[in-house]
Amino acid sequence: MVHMVWRKSSFSGTSGTSCVEVAWSDHRPAVDGVLIRDSKNPAGPVLSLPATAWRLLVVGG
């Protein structure tokens, strides 16, 4: 199993109620895809997006 490096969003609230983490599926953000999960439930579901979709989500199109 590959070890993923998860990073908590800088926009996640400090109250612990809105925590989003992201990781790059091949450890390089410009290649492959982005994984997204709820940091309060790390064993829960993970959303996978292509890197191009992630850029549109974060930067806008």
Residue 17 forms part of a structural domain? yes
Residue 1 forms part of a structural domain? no
Residue 42 forms part of a structural domain? yes
Stretch (H or E) spanning 35: strand 33-38
Give the whole-angstrom CA distance, residue 17 versus residue 58: 21
Look at residues 56, 54, 59, 53 and name the one whose alpha carbon lies nearest to residue 7. 54
For the chain, what is the domain count? 1
4 contacts 13 by C-beta, under 8 angstroms: no
Residue 47 forms part of a structural domain? yes
Q: Which residue has the higher pLDDT, 31 or 20?
A: 20
Domain interval for residue 11:
7-59
Residue 44 forms part of a structural domain? yes
The DSSP call for residue 2 is P
User: Which residues are registered as beta bridge partners of 21?
Assistant: 8, 37
With cut-offs at 50, 70 and 90, classify the pLDDT of residue 1. very low
Q: Which residue has the higher pLDDT, 2 or 39?
A: 39
Q: Chain-wide mean pLDDT for the chain?
A: 78
